[in-house]
Structure 1
Amino acid sequence: MMPIQQRNSLSRRNFLQSSGAATAAALSAGVWSSRSIAASNSANEKLNIACIGTANRALADIDGVTSESIVALCDVDSRYLGVQSKRFPDAKTYVDYREMLESNKGYVDAVVIGLTDHHHAPATIRAIENQMHVYCEKPLTHTVEEARIVTEAARAAGVATQMGTQIHATDNYRRVVEVIRSGAIGDVNEVHVWVGKGWGAEGLPAGSDTPPEYLDWDLWLGPAPQRPFLDGQYHPAQWRRWWAFGQGTLGDMACHYMDLPFWALGLTSPTRVAAAGPPVDAEACPLGLKVNYDFPAVDGRGPVKLTWYDGNLTPRTVSDIKVPGSGVMFVGSEGKMFADYGGYKLYPEEKYASFTPPPKSIPTSIGHHAEWIRACKSGEPTTCNFDYAGPLTEAVLLGNVAFRSGRPIQWDAKNLRVTGNEQATALLSKEYRAGWEVRALESVG
């Protein structure tokens, strides 16, 4: 595979030059006057929303935007599509989202993407090309390169974006961020993040079955290489176990749990990433993984070492404290904090027995999906827009790049490059089947 920095069609410099010129030209000509985020819709006018994926996690996302007009639905599984078609009888239905996005250019305002990871970027970039606002499930993309491409494309196009890290909108995460920023546990230079899931496997499952009539298997594969359908594997629930479709437990859960230290400590791009786990399998994700990230000092904060654990490598104690199956431990110069989705606790307990939280400074969210809807109509940025979610996703996926390459990586975020590790460089991107490519935009509008 050609290294990322050698492929002109995906060159960051070429992208910025071409998209910047296209942006200026479009604004000058006024062609965005009816599509820009500041003028898409008035506060009272409903958005025309297309939903790609209609079941499981995608169904929860549909439920989050029903205040608007659901005008198009897409799913490769006719069972799921049929259920939602009855629910939204006026919505047009599609099996191929490429057709849906192209045929509804100028009609659909915004797109909700709730597909398998390997479809996130192909769907997102095509929506952006058609000047549609985008809500995309986590992780934002399937590769590091894709994360950079869609982040910069969304910024150039001026569309409203949100990544589906719904827990970010909860009050508890806001209180944790406030406590850490207040200095209650001192300077934080060490963080541990763990999740007791194990989205892994050992090689590819053997055999093949005839795809059922209700499933378009070729479209489900989309950009991924051809492989046989297997009943009970891949679709709908097991696909995260294989590199062709997912990114294992790290890809599934880190955007939720690493989100908290990213937010509280203002993390961006690591400089070094090292990973340990079972022997690397070319096809299957590991059943357990440990990743060490080094983040540089920035804005008065010192460097941060963040350690991720999952699956059968999940710890029972962290920093000498017995912990549950998932959570985050901030280790500060004056104390420690354990946090998860629902609450937080400070250590040593006796020291913080009478602790008074700092005044609330982060406003209560109107709702994760509601933030995006408001952004589509007003231009007010969301809390997990792609400028935030893109770097978070890049950092998350670099853990798997380090693991699969077999040795630590030195990361040059500015140039989207691994220093001195050709195998890791190749893992930043991937090949696509014809018709599913993800390329930096040459023009917008």
Structure 2
Amino acid sequence: MTEKKEETPVTGTSRRDFLKNTSLAAAGFMIVPRFVLGGKGYTAPSDMLNVAGIGAGGKGESDIAAFAKSGKANIAFLCDVDDRRAAKSRASFPKAKYYKDWRELLDKEGKNFDAVSVSTPDHNHAIIAYGAMQLGKHVYVQKPLTHDLWEARLLTEAAKKYKVVTQMGNQGASNDGTRLMSEWYDEGLIGDVHTVYCWTNRPVWPQGIKWPDPSQNIPKELDWDLWLGTAPKKDYVEKLVPFNWRGWWDYGTGALGDMGCHLVEAPFRVLGIRYAKDVQASVGSVYVDEFKQGRFPESCPPSSHITLTFPKTNKTKGDVTLHWMDGGIQPERPIELGADEKWGGEEGNGTLFIGTKGKMYASTYSDAATLLPKSRMENVKAKQKYARVPGGASGHYAQWVEACIAGYGKQEVSSPFEIAGPLTEALLMANLAVRGHDLKGGTIKMLWDNDAMKVTNFAEANQFVKREYREGFVLKA
């Protein structure tokens, strides 16, 4: 089969043609029949998914382990910019070839794996995932799907263009709770939902602070330039890696990016909402000095309350107003609860649906789904109409592995990019309002043109829809 050359994907200017020798050409090999190799529980090579894990520490470490636990994934390659973070995964999968630069991995090994897991800081999600998709690789990308709105739309369209199986790492999408609440809603148990509240105790990392002083003590195991990736060139600072990057706009997406995909997924599934039409935000301030309050605009705020309006869907009678609250802010306790009665928000995260005939709520990952008042749970009956995912949230990984083996369009996944993309766009649009608040010096309602992907009444905010990438890390779509 003749190699098909495509447009050069994500790459540095000094790199050779990224797609050279990376086509999906069939190799001349033979799969030995299962019965010849034999053995109870044996998985034939044709039934195994060869995975490259880009981001092998922290969440990447647990993701990679979960794929392997499915029994149908071979962890063939590992990649991380920080050898310290990758150490445990490398010990767990000693046969996996290790790379530090994901561009080199995709360039050299494109023929030798089937799928890619991306678990890096948010600002590098899209460039890695899109590069893998251009090679025809199935992709699993940690939440939020992308750092920018434009990137989310790009990956959503790319999944169809390249016909690859996709999944975002919001495991709650595979939990029973979202399906149970969908069945309650479809049965009319709470009437028509017009308002939703989602809230979190995050951030649990520094936010709303001044950029730290630079340090010369770059750990020898860390490639700082590779870690920066698409972000602007800056001097190394202590404690940004591996976790505190979440609170800085150059790299993270704040509390919304961290928890929004878990908590807002249920309203998307239950109500069928997709793209918001307007958004507004109020944000918490910090003490800049002894006599002045303000904000450090390069850092996400310590708290926020954001309101999004979603147009009517085929599952609602009118617009839906969704409130997002972070930094420990929570909605008023429902009147259906007793004064001392606990509810899903006790752990710091929750989702509350308010309908014309009642209410329902759930906690993180849509766990503990409950109708209000709780006495309704004693006699609730609703026909099961949505198939459950074996293992629930834990089964999110095996579901993707099996769908990849089956092939594009052959098997359902819980959070494909056709769903995860619009969900991520809604959250990033909410962050537009947060960042616009700093530009405007106060709260305005931003009107959103979904087709043009821009705010129509405050042009300054559109600079955050699509950022400029640093030279050497260019995403060419």
TM-score greater than 0.5 by the shorter chain: yes
Deviation at residue 162 of structure 1 after TM alignment = 0.2
Does 2:119 match 1:114?
yes
- Counterpart of 2:450 in structure 1 is 413
- Counterpart of 2:180 in structure 1 is 175
Secondary structure at the counterpart of residue 313 of structure 2: coil
- Counterpart of 1:247 in structure 2 is 253
Does 2:252 match 1:227?
no
User: Within 1, Cα distance between the matches of 2:163 and 2:91?
Assistant: 34
Secondary structure at the counterpart of residue 111 of structure 2: coil
Gaps of 5+ in 2: 1-6, 8-22, 28-42, 285-293, 340-344, 438-443
Does 2:451 match 1:436?
no
User: Within 1, Cα distance between the matches of 2:400 and 2:95?
Assistant: 23
Secondary structure at the counterpart of residue 293 of structure 1: strand
Aligned residue type for 1:298: T
What is the TM-score of this pair, normalised by structure 1?
A: 0.86
Deviation at residue 175 of structure 1 after TM alignment = 1.2
User: Within 2, Cα distance between the matches of 1:362 and 1:43?
Assistant: 32
Q: Any residues of structure 2 matched to 1:24-423 within 5 Å, and which? A: 45-66=47-68, 67=71, 68-198=73-203, 199=205, 200-231=207-238, 233-278=239-284, 279-299=294-314, 301=316, 302-315=318-331, 317=333, 323-324=345-346, 325-341=348-364, 342-349=367-374, 352=376, 354-366=378-390, 367-378=395-406, 379=408, 380-406=411-437, 407-423=444-460
Render the CA deviation track for 1:21-66: whole Å, top value 9, x for unaligned: xxxxxxxxxx86869xxxxx99952111100111111111101111
Render the CA deviation track for 1:135-163: whole Å, top value 9, x for unaligned: 00000000101101111112100011000
User: Within 2, Cα distance between the matches of 1:34 and 1:63?
Assistant: 29
- Residues 47 and 69, structure 1, Cα contact 8 Å, conserved in 2: yes
Using a 3 Å threshold, how does the CA distance of structure 1 residues 353 and 124 change in structure 2: closer, same or farther?
A: closer
Aligned residue type for 1:346: L
User: Within 1, Cα distance between the matches of 2:335 and 2:157?
Assistant: 38
Secondary structure at the counterpart of residue 275 of structure 1: strand
Deviation at residue 203 of structure 1 after TM alignment = 2.2
Using a 3 Å threshold, how does the CA distance of structure 1 residues 376 and 304 change in structure 2: closer, same or farther?
A: same
- Counterpart of 1:22 in structure 2 is none
Deviation at residue 106 of structure 1 after TM alignment = 2.1
User: Within 1, Cα distance between the matches of 2:336 and 2:148?
Assistant: 35
Using a 3 Å threshold, how does the CA distance of structure 1 residues 426 and 65 change in structure 2: closer, same or farther?
A: same
Secondary structure at the counterpart of residue 314 of structure 2: coil
Aligned residue type for 2:237: L
- Counterpart of 1:15 in structure 2 is none
- Residues 24 and 111, structure 2, Cα contact 8 Å, conserved in 1: no
- Residues 130 and 155, structure 2, Cα contact 8 Å, conserved in 1: yes
- Counterpart of 2:290 in structure 1 is none
Number of equivalences: 404
Consecutive aligned runs of 4 or more in structure 1 exceeding 6 Å deviation:
none
Using a 3 Å threshold, how does the CA distance of structure 1 residues 34 and 428 change in structure 2: closer, same or farther?
A: farther
User: Within 2, Cα distance between the matches of 1:409 and 1:320?
Assistant: 34
- Residues 200 and 329, structure 2, Cα contact 8 Å, conserved in 1: no
Secondary structure at the counterpart of residue 112 of structure 2: coil
Secondary structure at the counterpart of residue 47 of structure 2: coil
Supply the RMSD in Å over aligned alpha carbons. Answer: 2.2
User: Within 2, Cα distance between the matches of 1:102 and 1:65?
Assistant: 23
Relative to structure 2, which stretch is displaced further, 85-94 or 132-141?
A: 85-94
Provide the identity percentage. Answer: 36
Query: Which one has the largest radius of gyration?
Result: 2
- Residues 242 and 248, structure 1, Cα contact 8 Å, conserved in 2: yes
Deviation at residue 429 of structure 1 after TM alignment = 1.0
- Residues 140 and 147, structure 1, Cα contact 8 Å, conserved in 2: yes
Aligned residue type for 1:418: V
What is the TM-score of this pair, normalised by structure 2?
A: 0.80
User: Within 2, Cα distance between the matches of 1:389 and 1:339?
Assistant: 20
- Residues 177 and 263, structure 1, Cα contact 8 Å, conserved in 2: yes
Secondary structure at the counterpart of residue 65 of structure 1: helix
Render the CA deviation track for 1:288-309: whole Å, top value 9, x for unaligned: 0111010001225221000000
User: Within 2, Cα distance between the matches of 1:227 and 1:318?
Assistant: 47
Aligned residue type for 1:337: M
Secondary structure at the counterpart of residue 398 of structure 2: helix
Using a 3 Å threshold, how does the CA distance of structure 1 residues 416 and 99 change in structure 2: closer, same or farther?
A: same
User: Within 1, Cα distance between the matches of 2:111 and 2:186?
Assistant: 43
Aligned residue type for 1:213: K
